[in-house]
């Protein structure tokens, strides 16, 4: 039985420049059917090449316009990341500035308020009126006077008050003359504390 060339072999043999396998060459020499088939495929290949070349044939302007379009789009794409990174840098800068401002404000508020004797005193008075344990460590407490105090866990106002009492007791128990200005300062602070305390009590009763 004669085995004819298959489609792949015909396609491989179709180009005029194709180097034919000796077996294929031998078969083609002896088989009219395969020779005709190869002729058909070769013609088809030439026609398709011509047709595709014709279909893709465009005037020079078309190719120039295409080159220019590619050039423009590449240039635009190159500019795009630069613009994006500048925008990103600006956003990062703004975010950093905002964070720094916020952090600064919070720190300033906490320091300023905890150093303010009046605020401390007001909080001490408030703490005296409310049962212990109401203030949760690490939370911000709103006093009746409207000021905000940060509760650091060990009630800051209470410890300050205790410290003042301790200093006063120490000084009362025979302090050297050199410490008399400190003694006066402690007395002043305690008076202010007591006055605020009374004022808060009155306002709360009203």
Give the contacts of 45 (CB within 8 A, at least 6 positions apart).
14, 15
Q: Interface with other proteins includes 10 (CB under 8 A)?
A: yes
In our burial notation (b when 16+ CB lie closer than 10 A, e otherwise), range 116-152 reads: ebebbbbbbbbbeeeeeeebeeeeebebebebebebe
Give the contacts of 150 (CB within 8 A, at least 6 positions apart).
110, 113, 114, 140, 141
Residue 8 or 82 with smaller CB distance to other proteins: 8
Out of 51, 92, 95, 195, the only residue in the binding site for other proteins (CB under 8 A) is: 51
Measured on CA atoms in the order 23, 24, 25, 26, is the torsion positive or negative? positive
Q: Interface with other proteins includes 74 (CB under 8 A)?
A: yes
Out of 5, 34, 41, 167, the only residue in the binding site for other proteins (CB under 8 A) is: 41
Q: Interface with other proteins includes 14 (CB under 8 A)?
A: yes
Alpha carbon distance 26, 40 (integer Å): 19
Q: Interface with other proteins includes 16 (CB under 8 A)?
A: no
- Which residues within the stretch 93-152 sit at the binding site for other proteins (CB under 8 A)? none
Q: How many residues line the site for other proteins (CB under 8 A)?
A: 33
Q: Are 12 and 45 contacting, i.e. CB atoms less than 8 angstroms apart? A: no
Q: Interface with other proteins includes 60 (CB under 8 A)?
A: no
Name beta bridge partners: 149. 141
Q: How far is the CB of 20 from other proteins (least distance, A)?
A: 16
Residue 15 or 153 with smaller CB distance to other proteins: 15
Name beta bridge partners: 188. none
Out of 36, 39, 63, 98, the only residue in the binding site for other proteins (CB under 8 A) is: 63
Contacting residues toward other proteins, per CB under 8 A = 6-8, 10-11, 14-15, 40-41, 44-45, 47-58, 62-63, 66-67, 69-71, 73-74, 77
């Amino acid at each position: 039985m004669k085995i004819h060339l298959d489609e792949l072999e015909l396609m491989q043999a179709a180009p005029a420049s194709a180097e034919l396998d000796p077996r294929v060459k031998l078969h083609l020499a002896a088989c009219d059917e395969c020779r005709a088939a190869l002729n058909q495929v070769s013609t088809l290949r030439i026609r398709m090449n011509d047709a595709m070349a014709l279909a893709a044939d465009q005037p020079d302007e078309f190719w120039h316009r295409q080159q220019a379009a590619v050039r423009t789009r590449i240039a635009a794409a190159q500019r795009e990341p630069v613009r994006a990174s500048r925008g990103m840098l600006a956003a990062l800068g703004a975010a950093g500035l905002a964070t720094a401002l916020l952090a600064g404000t919070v720190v300033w508020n906490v320091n300023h308020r905890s150093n303010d004797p009046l605020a401390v005193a007001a909080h001490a008075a408030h703490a005296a009126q409310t049962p212990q344990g109401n203030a949760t460590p690490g939370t911000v407490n709103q006093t009746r006077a409207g000021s905000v105090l940060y509760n650091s866990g060990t009630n800051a106002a209470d410890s300050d008050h205790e410290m003042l009492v301790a200093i006063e007791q120490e000084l009362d128990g025979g302090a050297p003359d050199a410490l008399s200005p400190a003694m006066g300062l402690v007395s002043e602070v305690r008076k202010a504390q007591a006055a605020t305390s009374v004022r808060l009590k009155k306002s709360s009763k009203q």
